[in-house]
Amino acid sequence: MRINLSSMANSWKKVGMITASILLTAGSALAQCSICTKTASQLGKESAEGLNGGIIYLMIVPFLVAGYIGYRWWRQEKQQS
């Protein structure tokens, strides 16, 4: 079985671009549900920004874990071929 490295490199470039886009725009996103928005409006500006940062942090950690697992899986598959 021959692997087309050019095609695989293009696929990884696309995945990298999408991942970078998501991570770069995540900081500016308003990541609040309706309950969090109501709570944040009662807290004041500084506390609301802290709440937003916490929500973003909680969102990013599962993606990093999944990315790490995916990378390890990819590396193991590459070693087996």
Tens-place pLDDT, residues 20-72: 887 777 665 555 577 777 777 788 888 888 888 888 888 888 889 999 999 99
Structure pTM? Answer: 0.42
- Radius of gyration over alpha carbons of the chain, in Å? 19
pLDDT > 70? residue 5: no
Closest by Cα among 42, 36, 34 to 55: 36
Q: Output phi, psi for 3, to 5 deg.
A: -105, 130
Closest by Cα among 21, 33, 19 to 67: 19
Closest by Cα among 17, 25, 15, 32 to 66: 15
What's residue 68's pLDDT?
94
Half-sphere exposure of residue 36, counting CA atoms within 13 Å on the CB side? 14
